[in-house]
Structure 1
């Protein structure tokens, strides 16, 4: 599509060309008229593909009791923690502007869901909770056997985008993060003994 604006006018005049060759070529702009080629607009699919390819941070599980160990039959509390190193994009952060075709696009990441793998064959299932610390954290698990486990969190993100500094709009897609780190954790048994 080509647009032009008559000199001294605020109104744009448009013409389109068919790719089949059946339509005549658009008329030439009269002398003294400014001709402007409309820049291509990125599709929603292109915007979504750019979002999922961003360098997202990976969440790491934090557990209580702290110190890398917990007790058998004692509730353990879990929380998703995100790095704050500036090299990756965490929930709540905004990306640097990137060029997509001729447009400047920014993205803002947001939490969508978590899956806590407790390392003993049990998991939380998908939840929207980032967990929390004792006593209010709502992601909890009680180990029934002693041993060493590796805990990790699968996470998905969503977010929003804006074009050329305009209004934020829902991205309507999901970034499924991969290779989230595992954290070693030990489950031990408390032993009582009498001392004199």
Structure 2
């Protein structure tokens, strides 16, 4: 099978017509088994075009993008029942990777577009905000009963790419990275008599 390499995002539009052994085709910059064999007159029936955009989307989904680290306040794995517990992450910056597709340099950029906070009691909330440390309380949850819960944070990435130094193009799909669970103990504050 013959692969056509195109410099305009994988869509070959500037074909030059040719005729090889009586069969009509087009002149292409052709790679066979990964080797550039130059400009060749290829019959239309034997050509498999490389759709670079599809390859980029496939690579975007294949790459292991990082999970976001969940921070819980109060710290040290304990919170109070009927108390606003604060959740946030400091991971909010875009993540960039450079890869090679069809012998072209492609830059992928993953942007955190949504955060899903799982509170471990059967409830969760999705936010475009990564939350913020105290005293800002962007993402909070109040537990109604004591016990141990496993809390976690999933992050949804939107993506964009550019070929070489070209314009950034949005990737139409998103992907979600599941964060590791961490234990949180919900306790009750009890009054204590202090003698002086």
Normalising by the smaller structure, the TM-score range is 0.7 to 0.9
Aligned to 2:131, the other structure's residue is in SS state: coil
Name the TM-score, length of structure 1 as normaliser: 0.73
1-structure distance, mates of 2:161, 2:23:
38
Aligned to 1:45, the other structure's residue is in SS state: helix
2-structure distance, mates of 1:75, 1:149:
15
The aligned runs of 1:1-196 (5 Å cut-off) are: 15-16=16-17, 23-24=23-24, 37=39, 42-82=51-91, 91-95=93-97, 97-124=98-125, 126-178=126-178, 180-196=179-195
Deviation at 1:118, TM superposition (A): 0.3
Q: Greater relative contact order: 1 or 2 (C-alpha under 8 angstroms, separation 6 or more)? A: 1
Aligned to 2:132, the other structure's residue is in SS state: coil
Name the TM-score, length of structure 2 as normaliser: 0.73
Uncovered stretches (5+) of structure 2, i.e. residues with no partner: 5-13, 28-37, 41-48
Deviation at 1:61, TM superposition (A): 1.6
Contact 2:52 2:101 in 1 (8 A): no
Deviation at 1:144, TM superposition (A): 1.1
Contact 1:113 1:156 in 2 (8 A): yes
Quick check: which one's strand share is greater? 2
Deviation at 1:70, TM superposition (A): 0.5
After superposition, the Cα gap between the structure-2 partners of 1:140 and 1:22, relative to the gap in structure 1 and judged at 3 Å, is: farther
2-structure distance, mates of 1:130, 1:14:
48
Aligned to 2:79, the other structure's residue is in SS state: strand
Deviation at 1:167, TM superposition (A): 2.3
After superposition, the Cα gap between the structure-2 partners of 1:194 and 1:45, relative to the gap in structure 1 and judged at 3 Å, is: same
